[in-house]
Homo-oligomer: A and B are copies of this chain.
Amino acid sequence: MRTLSHGIFRAFLATSLLLVSLATSAADDPLPSWNDGATKRAILDFVQRVTAPAGKDFVPAPERIAVFDNDGTLWSEQPMYVQVAFALDRIKALAPQHPEWREKQFFKAALEGDLKAVSQSGAKGLLELMMATHAGMTTEEFEQTVKDWLATARHPRFQRPYTECVYQPILELLAFLRASGFKTYIVSGGGVDFMRPWTEKVYGIPPEQVVGSSMKTKFELRDGKPALVRLPEIDFVNDKETKPVGIDRFIGRRPLLAFGNSDGDHQMLQWTAAGSGARFVGIVHHTDAERESAYDRASPIGRLDKALDEALAKGWTVVDMKSDWKTIFPPRDGR
């Protein structure tokens, strides 16, 4: 009986090892949309180092926090932030109920689709735009508005849903990190409530792992039923110096890996790089005008200047979109 059990055990063990070996072979390239080269090797090496239990750089799974900027890192941010496109469409939809907007220069520009005037209105104009379109409803009503808009809106150049203008190589990286025990987070300057309704489906990142800018909300009983109402007041802006603040507040651990694409991510990258032990800092450099966009030091949206200098000086990993990525976007739905 002992011998039989022993035999069964050995057979089972052999089968298991075979399965493991097959699995390893199938997963030999977890990043098929990345061209072979220094960038891809740097990513694979890093993940191998922090996950090898016997290695000196091993990090226990609960501490494997990976953070990604959203605009320009996970999806396209040109010719304008998707959330601004959303706000402009909301202005048009809400305009009939707000005749007073027609008198205001900024709203006039927005209604006429005068993008240049909109962007020239700067932070103050953008804030007015947000307050007018993102407040005054419950959190659930706003969530529905975002979902409805995304279902029909199309990227002006790529003519596909914005949620399909996401970077296939980064989707693969997110999945690879999760399979390697990482918890993946978004840390974005964009509105947390604009992202949460769709990030789980599109990126595999659940609502509770999205850190972003927010507006104040107020709890109240409406006809005895609890509601959270969105107020026209900024709560937190998660950008530049406040990205590490947001990471500390919402996650409470320093990331092991961080990816960004602009100076808005600079401090988050510095904060990550300064942690003890092995850390990975990556920048998506938009170098591909043909397939997506080419911009960096002089761009009004997603300017990449000081962070690029530090990346080059410190040997952070700079992804060259044109040469490092085989494909940019996922295959179209149904194709």
* A274 interface hit (Cβ, 8 Å): yes
Binds B, one of A80-88, A128-136, A240-248, A294-302: A240-248
- Known A219-B267, A241-B219, A271-B219; judge A252-B8 contact (CB<8 A): no
**1/0 contact string of A244-261 vs chain B (CB within 8 Å):** 110011111100000000
CA–CA, A282 and B239, complex, Å: 38
Question: In the assembled complex, which residues on chain B have CB atoms less than 8 Å from the CB atom of A200?
Answer: 62
The answer to whether B208 and A228 have CB atoms under 8 Å apart is no
Partner of A217, one of B210, B248, B274: B248
The answer to whether B226 and A271 have CB atoms under 8 Å apart is yes
Tell me, rounded to whole Å, the shortest Cβ–Cβ distance linking A243 to chain B: 8
The answer to whether B217 and A252 have CB atoms under 8 Å apart is no
Partner of A206, one of B62, B219, B270: B62
Q: Which are the 5 A-B pairs with shortest beta-carbon distances?
A: A207-B252, A219-B241, A219-B244, A226-B274, A208-B251
CA–CA, A196 and B241, complex, Å: 22
The answer to whether B274 and A208 have CB atoms under 8 Å apart is no
The answer to whether B214 and A249 have CB atoms under 8 Å apart is yes
Q: A residues bordering B, Cβ < 8 Å? A: 4-5, 8, 11-12, 15, 62, 65, 139, 183, 192-193, 196, 200, 206-208, 210, 214, 216-219, 221, 225-226, 228, 235, 241-242, 244-245, 248-253, 267, 270-271, 274
Question: In the assembled complex, which residues on chain B have CB atoms less than 8 Å from the CB atom of A216?
Answer: 245
Partner of A208, one of B183, B214, B226: B183
Question: In the assembled complex, which residues on chain B have CB atoms less than 8 Å from the CB atom of A139?
Answer: 248
A-B contact pairs, 30 of them (CB 8 A): A4-B11, A5-B11, A8-B8, A8-B12, A8-B15, A12-B12, A62-B200, A139-B248, A183-B208, A192-B249, A192-B252, A193-B252, A196-B252, A207-B251, A207-B252, A208-B250, A208-B251, A208-B252, A208-B253, A210-B252, A214-B249, A216-B245, A217-B248, A219-B241, A219-B271, A221-B270, A226-B244, A226-B271, A226-B274, A228-B245
A11 to chain B: closest residue by CB: B8
CA–CA, A199 and B158, complex, Å: 47
